[in-house]
Amino acid sequence: MSPYAPKTVVPVERTRAEIERLLTQKYGAKAFVYAVRADFTRIEFEMNGRRIRFQMPLPQEKDFYSKREFEQALRTKWRCLLLTIKGKLESVENEIETFDDAFLPQIVLPSNETLGEWARPQIVEIYQLGQMPPLLTA
């Protein structure tokens, strides 16, 4: 169990709405959408000329002894997502980092993958080879 909000009673729906309000009302996101599947949830928003995507894996009920524990894990996970997004926005607001630096892994590229999804395999390869790829490809 996460050390953050392990006993939260805030319903998932309320946390999701809080994320939407934070993004659209407080920080001026131009668009907001979310989707939920059994195994993950996705939140996307447009801000500062960028499309940002968070895809969060969800706990699975089969991994818990009781429905109550499972629902608690869901609430905790959503509160952690809110904390993550709020922390990044506050970091930008307080000029600790730029918007792009704060959200770099979540920026959606024209290929519809995030920069993090695109870069992760390349980072693995760089460390395996111990060298940077050439700047220009043939």
- What's the length of the chain? 138
pTM for the predicted model, two decimal places: 0.87
**Consecutive 10-residue averages of pLDDT for the chain (138 residues):** 73 95 96 94 97 96 92 93 96 97 97 94 88 69
Q: What domain range includes position 90? A: 12-129
Q: Tell me if 80 is assigned to some domain.
A: yes
Q: Tell me if 120 is assigned to some domain.
A: yes
d(Cα 90, Cα 69) in Å, to the nearest integer? Answer: 31
d(Cα 34, Cα 38) in Å, to the nearest integer? Answer: 14
pLDDT at 125: 86
pLDDT digits (tens, 9 = 90+) for 85-95: 999 999 999 99
Secondary structure E strands in the chain: 31-36, 40-47, 50-57
Residue 129 CB burial class (10 angstroms; 0-12, 13-18, ≥19): exposed
For residue 40, what are the β-bridge partners?
A: 57
Task: Render the burial of 24-34: b for 16+ CB within 10 Å, e for the rest.
Answer: eeebebeebee
* Tokens 């006993």, residue located: 7
Percent of the chain with pLDDT over 70: 94
Q: Tell me if 6 is assigned to some domain.
A: no
- Provide the domain count of the chain: 1
Q: How many helices (H) and strands (E) does the chain have?
A: 4, 3
* Three-state DSSP state, 103: helix
Q: Tell me if 51 is assigned to some domain.
A: yes
Q: Tell me if 5 is assigned to some domain.
A: no
Q: Tell me if 32 is assigned to some domain.
A: yes
Q: Tell me if 2 is assigned to some domain.
A: no
Q: Do residues 67 and 75 touch, judged by C-beta distance below 8 A?
A: no
Q: Tell me if 135 is assigned to some domain.
A: no
